[in-house]
Structure 1
Amino acid sequence: MQTHLAPEFAGTPEGEAAEAILRKCVHCGFCTATCPTYQLLGDELDGPRGRIYLMKQVLEGAEVTRSMQQHLDKCLTCRNCESTCPSGVQYGPLVEIGRRIADAKVQRPTGERLVRWALREGLTSPLFPLAIQAGQALRPLLPTALQNKVPAASPAPQGRWPTRTHARKVLLLAGCVQPTLMPNINLATAQVLDAVGVQTVVIEKAKCCGALRSHLSDPEGGLDDARRNIDAWWPWIERGEVEALVMNASACGLAVKEYGHALGHDAAYATKAARVAALARDLSELLPELVPVLRERLRPVQEGRPVKLAFHPPCTLQHGQKLRGGVETHLAALGFEVHVAQRESHLCCGSAGTYSVLQPDLAYELRDRKLRHLAELAPQAIVSANIGCIQHLQTGTQTPVRHWVEVLAERLG
């Protein structure tokens, strides 16, 4: 694709990055076949190729419009198009650039700005646990989109946090909302790692990965979150006391793995960010090493019948981190019966962080479509690898939806 950047963007880091991505696009349209919003809406401008044209026009000097902003808003940033693209177009970074430009030039309606501010500040606030308690008390009065984000009751802890000390240690990012909404995911992670002789270390000062602010019109705030986390982890990394930085939410894992790129321009943090990104691992990446030891630690399946699970691979795992097949393969090796939907397993479930609050109609349509395919497997439980997907899917089904590490922890002897 030929490009001629407007003077405003020519020679700037953002302009050069966008131009390099645009020039890889060959207009083939393969991306539209796997884009969730194009599948639902059938509008070229609600598919990757159409959005790329919109962003190209703006970078070449066209006026940024409210319509363009809305087309970019409807994108789930699932990056399915990246998995499909034969030319290697990095659509994810490009659409983030486009959104930053659109938000800088088009003021959103007051209501939108307030909602985005509330999500950005509320979900990352130390007062979030208190807000959830208040939300539970007022839950019947909340709009459906928010009601679905507030659990009816706080989950009871499934056991205790391990207290044994091990020579092998990993850092775990607890996350911003997960400790309140689904604390048993972190607990199960620590229990499983403890069972194989690995100690889980959580640094209190490391909070949100930064993705939430970045996706809600505050890219600088997202970078500040990344810097804070790096500062919190760095003493452990510098002393060589940890062998990996583990994330059990695939969206956070993707964000941390991209710290090196995000802070590559920051002289004070570029080297540290690259080191942190290199140490980052999704929890599933540890499974090949853990499976042989875990086989000796797990209780036998009752009556010799494996638990039938349907696995939903989050977009941030399969398209963002390019990790496919690992969870299913290794859980099967541990005695679980794991299936993946034969139809549209590559499509987003509609969660996409705060997307299900900001674009509820599209999000619920995608959720129901995903659940129909998963229901065909007749599973005893649905498992996934990201809190957002788990919470979103659970709002549409009576089948339990859990993190795969939780069902693994329950079988520990």
Structure 2
Amino acid sequence: MQTNFTLAQLADPDVNESEKILRKCVHCGFCTATCPTYLLLGDERDSPRGRIYLIKDMLENGRPATEAEVTHIDRCLSCLSCMTTCPSGVHYMHLVDHGRAHIEQTYQRPLPDRMQRKLLAEVLPYRNRFRAALLGAKAGRPFKAVLPKRLQTMLSLAPGKVHPPSRQERPGVFPAEGPRRMRVGMLVGCVQPVLNPGINEAAIRLLNRLGAEVVVSAGVGCCGALTHHLGHHEPDFAGPNVRAWMREVEGEGLDAIVITASGCGTTVKDYGFMLREHPELAEKAAKVSSLAKDITEVLAMLGLPEGAKAPRPLKVAYHSACSMQHGQKLHRPPRDLLKAAGFQVLEVPEGHICCGSAGTYNILQPELAGQLGARKAMNIESVRPDIIATGNIGCMTQIGQNTGIPIVHTVELLDWAAGGPEPEGLARVGDRVPA
């Protein structure tokens, strides 16, 4: 793609990077075939190629975003399926992140939009605030019908059960069982431990059993994905997280930083890029990104315990989250580990298409997210699984809204096969599958 940026514009590191990305695009349109919003809407502006043109026009002309541009860029899920499809290596993720930041800097959203987005940014990344919000949602559920549509959407996604803080949320060390083979840090996360603390509990149990010492470091909070995708130009949480993990690296050392939510993993693995211009943190951020691993990557390195076996013969539909298959390019580890543990792994039709969760997308774009969620559930149900496994809490919530099939995190099944407790999410399977 030909570009016409001035030298003054290219002096901006973000513009310079985006210009390089734009020049790689050859207009081939392969991306339109795998874009969920183009699949649903059939509008070129709701395809990656169309959004690339919109972002190019905004940046090249140095002008504020228009309402139409905001509409079509907001509809992007950042599922990154286009990056898997693209034969030219266009790094769409960095380009659309720049486009969103430009929108937030130059476009005045309507007041209700600003309030909703601020609420999400001020609540979801903070565990205690999120817990309080869920308790408020529980109290407000009887009045749902009279509330504004935006609040109705948020209430419909709120679970009935609110988990109190778990031991895994507090800074500390979980020692390895037997000789220590590895020392790893763990990202506890923000939304996940509130909605399902059993995921991190299972991960720590299994890692300890395999000889890994797990460290939950003081000062590590939300990964920052949520606010980053809302258009916040400076990563709100990346800096503190990098500093906290580097204290461990420079102290007793870390062999890996384990992440149990694939959306967070994609973000932490990108810290090196996000902070590349930071005079103090650039090198440290690159180090942190190099250490970041999905839990299944680390388990593949360690190997499952000898004798690990599925307690019941379950057919598992594996849903590969977009952040797992497109963001981190991880395909084999989760499937191979489930098969090694004795589960029958089923592939889901249209597995490359997003379920519609995409961080806060199912809150901000409920109509499109609803269509994608229903489509994903239909495809999963078509293979007639006993349970669904995935590696991202957002997908678990979104898919769970659209099907009655139990859904659990991959690491919960692996921990169960290795001698851990039965995942709470399997409670509804007992009547259908013989023990």
The TM-score by the shorter chain falls in which range? over 0.9
Counterpart in the other structure of 2:250: 238
Give secondary structure in 1 for the equivalent of 2:157.
Answer: coil
Partner residue in 2 for 1:116: 117
SS in 2 for 1:338: strand
| CA shift in 2, pair 1:389/1:212, >3 Å | same
Q: Secondary structure at the match of 1:347?
A: coil
1:301: which partner in 2?
Answer: 311
Aligned equivalent of 2:47:
47
1:188-221 deviation line (CA, Å, top 9, x unaligned): 101111121112221242110011111113222x
- Closer, same or farther in 2 for the Cα pair 1:106/1:236, shift >3 Å? same
For residues 301 and 183 of structure 1, the distance between their equivalents in structure 2, rounded to whole angstroms, comes to 22
CA-to-aligned-CA distance 1:154-201 (integer Å, 9 cap, x gap): 359999999544533211100011121111110010111112111222
282-291 vs 71-80, greater mean Cα deviation: 282-291
Please, which of 158, 179, 184 is the counterpart of residue 170 of structure 1? 184
Aligned to 2:426: none
**Per-residue deviation at 1:104?**
1.6
The aligned counterpart of 2:69 is 68
| Amino acid in structure 2 at the alignment position of 1:136 | K
Is residue 406 from structure 1 mapped to residue 406 from structure 2 by the alignment?
Answer: no
1:59 CA displacement: 2.1
1:337 aligns with 2:339: no
For residue 267 of structure 2, the aligned residue among 248, 255, 258 is 255
* Structure 2 counterpart SS, 1:294: coil
> Taking structure 1 as reference, are residues 159 and 130 closer, same or farther at Cα in structure 2, changes over 3 Å only?
closer
Kindly provide the amino acid, as one letter, of the partner of residue 301 in structure 1. Answer: P
Unaligned runs of 5+ residues in structure 2 are 145-150, 420-435
Q: SS of the residue aligned with 1:372?
A: helix
- Decide whether the 8 Å contact of 1:69 with 1:103 is kept in 2: no
Partner of 2:330: 323
Provide the residue aligned with 2:143 in structure 1: 141
Q: Map of 1:14-163 to 2, 5 A cutoff?
A: 14-61=14-61, 63=63, 64-125=65-126, 126-142=128-144, 143-154=151-162
Distance (whole Å) between structure 1 residues aligned to residue 414 and residue 118 of structure 2: 37
2: CA distance between counterparts of 1:255 and 1:33?
25
| SS of residue in 1 equivalent to 2:39 | helix
1:360-384 alpha-carbon deviations (Å, 9 max, x no partner): 0000100110111100111111110
Kindly indicate whether the alpha-carbon contact (under 8 Å) linking 1:123 and 1:177 is maintained by their aligned counterparts in 2.
yes
Aligned to 1:356: 362
Structure 2 residue identity aligned to 1:121: E
Distance 1:39 1:198, change over 3 A: same
Q: What letter corresponds to residue 69 of structure 1 in structure 2?
A: V
Q: How many residues align?
A: 405
Asked if 2 retains the 8 angstrom alpha-carbon contact of 1:328 and 1:339, the reply is no
Distance verdict in 2 for CA 1:374–1:159, change over 3 Å = farther
Give unpaired runs (5+ residues) of structure 1. Answer: none
In the other structure, the counterpart of 2:204 is 190
Distance, in Å, in 2 between the alignment partners of 1:25 and 1:255 is 23
Contact 2:311 2:416 in 1 (8 A): no
Q: Deviations over 1:222-260 (max 9, x none)?
A: x23111111221221112432100001001011100111
| 1:139–1:150 CA contact under 8 A, matched in 2 | no
Give per-residue Cα distances to partners, 1:58-102, cap 9 Å, x unaligned.
Answer: 222174311101110000011100000000000110011111112
| Residue matched to 2:393 | 387
Greater Cα offset, 140-149 or 29-38: 140-149
Give the drift of 1:7.
6.8
- The separation in 2 between residues aligned to 1:189 and 1:94, in whole angstroms, is 34
Distance 1:104 1:150, change over 3 A: same
Q: State the TM-score, normalized to the length of structure 2.
A: 0.88
Other-structure match for 1:371: 377
- Relative distance call for 1:351 and 1:42 in structure 2 (3 A) is same
Letter in 1 for 2:153: A
- Contact persistence 1:193–1:200 (CA under 8 A): yes
Query: 3-state DSSP class of the match of 2:69?
Result: helix
**Change in 2 beyond 3 A, CA 1:174/1:350:** same
* Distance in 2 (alpha carbons) for counterparts of 1:163 and 1:27: 51
Any conservation in 1 of the 2:84–2:326 contact (CA below 8 Å)? yes
CA distance in 2, matches of 1:164, 1:268: 32
Cα separation, 2, equivalents of 1:158 and 1:328? 29
Offset of 1:112 from its aligned partner? 0.3
Distance (whole Å) between structure 2 residues aligned to residue 163 and residue 278 of structure 1: 23
Distance 1:239 1:160 in 2: 21
Matched residue type, 1:29: G
In structure 1, C-alpha distance between the alignment counterparts of 2:354 and 2:199, rounded to whole Å: 22
2:373 maps to a residue whose letter is: R
Name the structure 2 match of 1:181. Answer: 195
Q: Specify the SS of the correspondent of 2:403.
A: coil
> 1:237 is matched by which residue type in structure 2?
V
- How has the CA–CA distance of structure 1 residues 157 and 226 changed in structure 2, closer, same or farther, with 3 Å as cutoff? closer
Deviations 1:265-288, CA, capped at 9 Å, x for gaps: 001001110110111001111232
